[in-house]
Amino acid sequence: MALVSMRQLLDEAAKGGYGIGAFNVNNMEQIQSIMEAARETKSPVIVQASRGARAYSQDRFLYHLMMAATELYPEIPTVLHLDHGNSPETCKSAIEMGFTSVMMDGSLMPDGKTPSSFEYNVQVTKEVVEMAHARGVTVEAEIGCLGGIEDGHGMGGDGLDHLTDPAQAEEFVKLTGCDALAIAIGTSHGAYKFSRKPDGEVLKMDVLIEIHKRLPETHLVMHGSSSVPQELQDIINKYGGKLKPTFGVPVEEIQLGIRNGVRKVNVDTDNRLAITGAIRKVFMEAPEKFDPRDYMKPAREAMKKVVMERMVQFGQAGHAGDYEPIPLEQMAERYKTMAVA
């Protein structure tokens, strides 16, 4: 099975009332973890790479690893998504590389740090939508800004600083025609999201619910949605780490989001924690080991376990065989019809 359009996966998720995890990757082992988890749970999957990941893996390596994934796991509908594209040029390069979905994050300026204007966001997002849809490629956009910084991207600060305005979100979707919309409801990039278990004061699910009421047909996206489980923190600290106490987004809040239009859920930190904890454990318990396979195998297995849990919790498990993949060329024709309508 070739890489498929994210729009198709999100449309099917909407029909089935479930969400789909979008898992960030930088290397072969992470891709293997995700694909093995998808096979064991029979899940469609979104694999995503940031600009930092593309630079780290040198792009072509990443792309061909994903081609290998589609060959080895032909039964799994798989999307390759660009996470937080900072400009139309970045999105264009991903499309030309073979990504089947791109995010144009016009909520920030091209430096990936400075909040932009509504007008700028509409302009660059609309430009990418026109370019991508002509190739059958999905476009995710963002309005409002997440807190924190990850892979050099983000405005930093608190997740409550630039929440999404529901009325503005409604206007934005009408003006741009984006396929999916990432919204800011108090979440942040990275491990240090909340200093206490989040409640309605710091995680604004009421904003999400209001946006869904206004945009019932738009696929919503939750970024910064790692749950940062205490047990993963404990493993790292037990084996020499020094993580400060922190809380992530509770799975039950993500599930509430899924019941209110969230179709894509971004998870990265949880997987990083799992990998790091497994590696630290080997280094401390078997300091004589020096073969990378001795610590990358348990690291891969630890990440796979987390991904499987999320696939089940988000509801995507069991849905890999529900539909036949639509070629990008056919998606491009559909977009033409939608534009005329």
- What pLDDT digit, counting tens, does each position of 17-51 carry? 999 999 999 999 999 999 999 999 999 999 999 99
Asked whether residue 75 carries a pLDDT value surpassing 80, the answer given is yes
Whether 170 is covered by a domain: the verdict is yes
Per-residue confidence band for 323, with pLDDT thresholds at 50, 70 and 90: very high
DSSP letters for 121-171: HHHHHHHHHHHHHTTT-EEEEEESB-BS-BTTBS--S-TTTBPPPHHHHHH
Percentages of the chain per state (helix, strand, coil), in multiples of 5: 50, 15, 35
User: Domain count of the chain?
Assistant: 1
Asked whether residue 70 carries a pLDDT value surpassing 90, the answer given is yes
Answer yes or no: are the C-beta atoms of 22 and 263 closer than 8 Å: no
Q: Is the pTM of this model over 0.75?
A: yes
Whether 158 is covered by a domain: the verdict is yes
Whether 216 is covered by a domain: the verdict is yes
Residue of 19, 73, 82 whose CA lies nearest to 51: 82
Two structure tokens written together for 198: 């989040």
Whether 174 is covered by a domain: the verdict is yes
Distance CA 337, CA 341 (A): 6
Whether 337 is covered by a domain: the verdict is no
- What pLDDT digit, counting tens, does each position of 277-306 carry? 999 999 999 999 999 999 999 999 999 999
| Percent share of the chain, pLDDT over 90 | 83
Whether 340 is covered by a domain: the verdict is no
Range of the domain at 97: 6-332
Catalytic residues: 83
Whether 341 is covered by a domain: the verdict is no
Name residue, tokens 């988890």: 37
Give SS3 for 284.
Answer: helix
Q: Which CATH number does the domain housing residue 114 bear?
A: 3.20.20.70
Residue of 4, 17, 99, 19 whose CA lies nearest to 316: 19
Distance CA 107, CA 176 (A): 13
Q: What is the dihedral of CA 22, 124, 86, 273, to 10 degrees?
A: -20
Q: CB burial class (10 A; 0-12, 13-18, 19+) of residue 97?
A: middle
Whether 13 is covered by a domain: the verdict is yes
Residue type, 135: R
Asked whether residue 95 carries a pLDDT value surpassing 70, the answer given is yes
**Res 176: pLDDT:** 98
Residue of 192, 300, 195, 314 whose CA lies nearest to 251: 314
Distance CA 248, CA 190 (A): 9
Distance CA 137, CA 207 (A): 28
**Res 340: pLDDT:** 52
Per-residue confidence band for 186, with pLDDT thresholds at 50, 70 and 90: confident
Of the listed ranges 80-84, 117-121, 127-131, 161-165, the least confidently predicted one is: 161-165
Within 10 angstroms of residue 223's Cβ, the number of other Cβ atoms is 28
**Residues in CB range of 171: below 8 A, 6 or more apart:** none
Distance CA 297, CA 260 (A): 38
User: Distances from the Cα of 28 to the Cαs of 37, 280, 323, in angstroms?
Assistant: 14, 19, 27
